[in-house]
């Protein structure tokens, strides 16, 4: 990754964490606007990193739910 992508990814990770801690879904858009005011390239890298990280988080949650369901079903079948 380039320096801009590395920085944007680190900022995305921190912003997602802060948005969750503050329960503020608008924080990501506000940070993106601040970036866009000075660097559209960095803003785009930030938003890409945010989308990738949030998509991975949703997919991981889905996978964990499926695994728990399968384990519960197999325990129920053996009892």
Task: Work out the average pLDDT over 11-25.
Answer: 97
Instruction: Note the pLDDT of residue 8.
Output: 96
Instruction: Note the pLDDT of residue 61.
Output: 96
pLDDT-derived band at 79 (thresholds 50, 70, 90) equals low
Which residue would you say has higher pLDDT here, 47 or 4?
47
**pLDDT 10s digits, 22-75:** 999 999 999 999 999 999 999 999 999 999 999 999 999 999 999 999 988 888
Separation of CA 67 from chain center: 21
Closest CA to 43 of 28, 54, 21, 56: 28
């Amino acid at each position: 990754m380039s320096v801009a992508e590395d920085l944007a990814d680190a900022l995305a990770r921190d912003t997602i964490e802060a948005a969750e801690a503050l329960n503020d879904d608008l924080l990501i858009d506000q940070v993106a606007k601040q970036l866009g005011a000075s660097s559209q390239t960095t803003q785009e890298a930030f938003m890409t990193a945010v989308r990738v990280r949030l998509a991975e988080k949703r997919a991981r949650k889905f996978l964990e739910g499926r695994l728990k369901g399968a384990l519960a079903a197999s325990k129920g079948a053996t009892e």
